[in-house]
Amino acid sequence: GKMAAAASPADALPLFDLFIDLPYPASDSSKIHAPPVVLPPPTPSTAADELKSGNGIARVARFAFPEHDDGAYAGELQRQKAVEQATGVSGGLNRHDVYMQNYVFASHLTFAMQLSNGSKIFGHVRRYLPSHPDAKTRHDVGRRSARAIVLITRHVGGDAFFASALKTIDALFSLASATSTSPQGPVRDFCYG
């Protein structure tokens, strides 16, 4: 019979198909919270193409923050707006902004998702509480909303490896915050370099 041709390194799947840093869905991005950060891979990726848009990011956010309820949050926004109109005061915070000692989210989650072309992808999520914009070197100061680092891959398993990779990225974020630099370059180098 015929011998199968050996796969070349160029045919191998990339380790990460997409990196996303998401704010909690109930964060008020118009105030002190940073918008989502999406770092697509240097090579074409179906997963990155489908998920880096607004609808794709919203799909991933539902897995990264499964406790969030859009309907309940819509009602909360209406009540908050009524209070702001009645009092003329806007605090710039909501009940989803917490102090470090009240932060109780699970730090590592995994999920599987099917893309529109039928292929499966796997997400590894690490939720974290970023530093406050007014106290970048101290994590114990100020209320802020949780965020999630999400690594999208087509590789099955590897939970311990991906948990370690997420911890490393979280450390890169902390270092960048403490030095007032952008983490995007180091994170891109770590994920795709």
Note down pLDDT in tens along the chain; length 193 residues: 555 555 555 566 778 888 988 888 776 655 545 778 888 888 888 888 888 887 888 889 888 888 766 666 666 666 767 777 777 766 665 655 665 556 666 578 899 999 999 999 999 999 887 776 666 666 666 667 788 899 999 999 889 999 999 999 988 888 887 787 888 888 888 888 7
Q: What is the pLDDT of residue 193?
A: 78
Q: What is the pLDDT of residue 112?
A: 94
Whole-angstrom CA distances from 128 to 23, 70, 102, 109 are 10, 21, 12, 12
Q: What is the pLDDT of residue 77?
A: 65
Q: What is the pLDDT of residue 52?
A: 85
158 CB neighbour count, 10 Å cutoff = 15
Burial class (CB in 10 A: 0-12, 13-18, 19+), 144: buried
Q: What is the pLDDT of residue 44?
A: 82
Q: What is the pLDDT of residue 147?
A: 85
Q: What DSSP state is assigned to residue 16?
A: -
